[in-house]
Amino acid sequence: MQELKIEAMLIGSKSNRRYMSGFTGSSAMLYVSKTKQVIITDFRYMQQTSLQCQQFECINQGSIGIIKTALEIAKQEGVKYIGFESAHTNYLAFLELKSYDAFEFIPTHNLIENFRQIKDDEELQKLRQAEHIGDLAFAHIVPFITQHYLEGLTENNIALELEHFMRQQGASGTSFASIVASGIKSSLPHAEPGNEMLQKGDFVVMDFGCIYEGYCSDMTRTVIIGEPTEKHKHIYDTVLKAQLAALQAIKPGMLGQEVDKVARDIITQAGFGEYFGHGLGHSTGIDIHESPRFSPLDTTKILKGMIMTVEPGIYIPKFGGVRIEDLVVITENGIENLTHSPKELIVIV
């Protein structure tokens, strides 16, 4: 804030608000200055804020609204230069801010998000447990598929079973809508599970995660129904080779695009470059997709304490696709892999 010549900051995005204050509700704004830490909300959340945000003064916006309440505090403090989150402020809120001539509003970009890139020990422990629940879910789902696929098991059946099981293990919900894609749908990186029934010869991609104490896990495994052909094996082995090479290569100080290139070069050399069209990975935390990224465009330096997915894939239209994804923590010399599910091709017969 000093560098940006900001005297106070308004924080309204849900994830940044939670990171700064601990508040998990849906409606509030933080006002932070050198001398004040205030959370402004409405009657519904006053008890909740007093429990979750004990280091913040809790103020009810009453009938005048959150923004006006925040600016009344700024006026009392004699503050003029106020920062706001440019990526999380809608146009109507921006117009309301601009209507107050007594203040100068300064847009900020990724101010809080940049702090969130490095996870502390408490955050990492929550992420470890979230990913552990994912490992347990994968260990559960393989025998579930084996037992039931001949009965007419659908993608939706699998997604529901994964989500139900993760909640039983202590998750509060899913990190994102679970992806279960079989057959030719497995060539869609973000396919939505439907009523398609698993058939012999199908790749089945399962990309799922859970929320544990507010932090998101993410993992992907691909299995096959029935004996694989040589084409199936070649595609799967290429993705696995690319992922293992990237995991081995990651070191603090590398750029995101350099890590991406390790896996991408292997897939390209195998003749599948045009079928790997997304980045190699992304960070997770309070949100499932955070920065930095492993992608051809990301020049962020990878640092100790960052958490990243490593998820190469090959997606061939009208045939199928494979993705393998682990969640890793950047350490002093390399990585700690939080995902422990097996990665050899599992054949369900």
Please state, in angstroms and rounded to a whole number, the distance separating the CA atoms of residues 124 and 115. Answer: 15
* Mean pLDDT, all residues of the chain: 97
Q: Which of 63, 85, 116 is the last residue of a domain?
A: 116
157 found inside a domain:
yes
Same domain? For 101 and 187 the reply is no
Cis peptide bond upstream of 292, omega within 30: yes
Please state, in angstroms and rounded to a whole number, the distance separating the CA atoms of residues 96 and 102. Answer: 13
Same domain? For 139 and 79 the reply is no
pLDDT (tens digit, 9 = 90+) per residue, 168-215? 999 999 999 999 999 999 999 999 999 999 999 999 999 999 999 999
Q: How many residues does the chain have?
A: 349
Overall average pLDDT of the 129-146 stretch: 98
CA geometry: angle at 242 spanning 237 and 246, to 5°? 145
2 found inside a domain:
no
For the whole model, what pTM was predicted?
A: 0.94
69 found inside a domain:
yes
179 found inside a domain:
yes
Same domain? For 60 and 128 the reply is no
Same domain? For 112 and 151 the reply is no
Same domain? For 222 and 111 the reply is no
What's the total number of domains in the chain? 2
CATH code where residue 294 lies: 3.90.230.10
Q: Which of 92, 116, 140 is the last residue of a domain?
A: 116
Residue 293 sits at φ, ψ, to 5 deg, of -125, 155
Overall average pLDDT of the 158-165 stretch: 98
43 found inside a domain:
yes
pLDDT (tens digit, 9 = 90+) per residue, 223-280? 999 999 999 999 999 999 999 999 999 999 999 999 999 999 999 999 999 999 999 9
pLDDT (tens digit, 9 = 90+) per residue, 280-314? 999 999 999 999 999 999 999 999 999 999 999 99
pLDDT value at residue 63:
87
Structural domain boundaries enclosing 104: 8-116
